[in-house]
Each structure stands twice: as C-alpha cells, then as structure tokens.
Amino acid sequence: MTPEEQDLVTGLVIAPGEGATRTLDEVLAHFGEPDGSALALRLLRDAMERRDADDVEMALILHAAADASGEEFLEPLTELFPAEWHRGHEDVVSVLGELRSPRAVPTLALATRWVPEHLDWDENRALAVKAIWALGAVPGPEAREALEGLRDDENEIIRENARKQLTRRSEAATGVEVPGADRRADVLREATDGETGEGDVGRPRAGVPFDD
C-alpha cells in the first residue's frame, strides 16, 4: 500500500472530538472494490504475506469502518494474532470477539496469558481483559472452560474479570441475577479503558466489553 493509500484509509478513523476525513465510498472507489469486507480481507491477506505491520493496521481500520464480519476472517486472524511483527493484537481480539465463534477460543485464551512485546508496559492487561470479555460472549463449553481456568489467576484484574464473565454466563443460563457479583470486576475493567489513546473507528477501546 502506498503512503497516499495509507493516508486515505487512515482518514476513516474517528478520533475523539473529530469526525472522519474520508468516507468508505471514497476508499472503495480508489481500490476498485464495491465490498468493504472483501477489500479488508484482501488487504489483510496481502499485508500478512508481506509481514507489513502498517498495512495490517490499515486492513483492520477498513474492517471496522466497513462494519465487516464473517467467518472468512477467522483463519487469517488466528494465524496473525501470535505474530510479533505487527502491533494489531488488540484489534485482532476485537474482531474475533465480534465473531463469537467457538473456533476463536484457543486464540482468545492465548490472549489472556501472552503479552506481546509492544504491550509489555501495560500493567492493566488491557489485551487480556478484552479477550476475557470476548470469551464471555462466545457460546459453548470451550469458552466457559477457558474462563474457568482464569478464575484463580494470580493477576487480580484477570481473575476478577474472568469471574464476572462466568457469573454473567450463569445468570444468562438460569435467569437468576447474582447481586453485587459484578462490581469489583467493573472497577478493574474500567481502569483499563482508554489506555491506548488510539483513534476509534467504532470498535471498543481496550477493556470495553462485548455484551451478550
């Protein structure tokens, strides 16, 4: 992707207090592709093949701006997540969380434990929190078991958020609310909000939940 094309895609980002400077239609017209999801997937695969971190970021921006979804993103994103050569780990977890697929559970579980080098500074473990909330929205026993494995984690933020998600799943299954069970994890999760300071294109910031 040329610098001019990167500027075009970056114009889709909605920064705090500002609107986007480009429209999705402008981006699609430039690349000659009528479908935003298809273009995002094509750009993502191309960036992965070239190991281009900047272009991975552009593809994920486009994915969010196009409100793309679909299982076709699952395979490349699960392959991309553990790579150290890019900086899109939080955005990858966001997309996997939106898919709510049991097939994403191993990658989301990895995201609760592994810290990429570029996020080593984050004591609030925003990546892990985002992955825990994503797991909480994934149906099936695989996600529940992944959360169960975190309920006694030595890290308080991870432990409390995992317990909250288990509580939410139990409430959803039984229809019975557990009074006061969520407040502690809310406080810990809120501590992670806004850590990245990145422009937003409609995807939650670090630590913001995926609601059922």
Q: Which range, of 53-62, 91-100, 131-140, 172-181, averages the lowest pLDDT? A: 172-181
C-beta of residue 1 within 8 angstroms of C-beta of residue 23: no
CA-atom Rg of the chain in angstroms: 17
- The reply to whether the predicted model has a pTM over 0.75 is yes
pLDDT tens sequence across 125-179 = 999 999 999 999 999 999 999 999 999 999 999 999 999 999 998 887 776 555 5
Instruction: Write a three-state SS string for 89-103.
Output: HHHHHHHHHHHCCHH
CA pair distance 18, 170, nearest whole angstrom? 40
Kindly report the average pLDDT of the chain as a whole number: 85
Q: Please report, rounded to a whole number, the percentage of residues in the chain having pLDDT higher than 70.
A: 82
DSSP string, 63-115: HHHTT---GGGHHHHHHHTT-SS-S-HHHHHHHHHHHT-GGGHHHHHHHHH--
CA pair distance 22, 35, nearest whole angstrom? 16
Helix axes 141-148, 126-137, angle to 10 degrees: 140
**Three-class SS state of 10:** helix
Q: Which range, of 6-10, 18-22, 46-50, 204-208, averages the lowest pLDDT? A: 204-208
Confidence (pLDDT) at 154 = 93
Residue 205, amino acid:
R
Confidence check: pLDDT of 204 > 80: no
